[in-house]
Amino acid sequence: MKHWMFRCKDVSHKVSLSMDATLPFNQRMAIWMHLLMCRYCFRFRKQLMILRKLSRMTVHDPLDDPPQVSLSMESRARIKKRLRASSDIP
């Protein structure tokens, strides 16, 4: 006789699969029954949901943006003058 209840190993795998695809109704019900009785699998699912939520959050990386440097006209002229002098550009 085939056991109708999933083991923890099966549930953790199925919960992970359910994040990417819709499982058949009978499997979803069997998982929920297991989750109602097993606090460890319930926690595992909760942790996966937290990880999923965090991974969907976008984080702004300041290194991706070019620096916003504003030089005065005198500084620009001085830099141009030195670059021209060092490379012999007329």
Q: Give the domain ranges of the chain.
A: 1-58
Neighbouring CB atoms inside 10 A of 28's CB total 13
Q: What is the pLDDT of residue 1?
A: 36
Averaged pLDDT, 45-64:
82
Distance CA 2, CA 14 (A): 18
Confidence of residue 71 (pLDDT cuts 50, 70, 90): confident
Q: Helix, strand or coil for residue 41?
A: helix
Do 30 and 20 touch, CB atoms closer than 8 A? no
Averaged pLDDT, 28-51:
94
Distance CA 65, CA 44 (A): 37
Is a pLDDT exceeding 60 seen at residue 20? yes
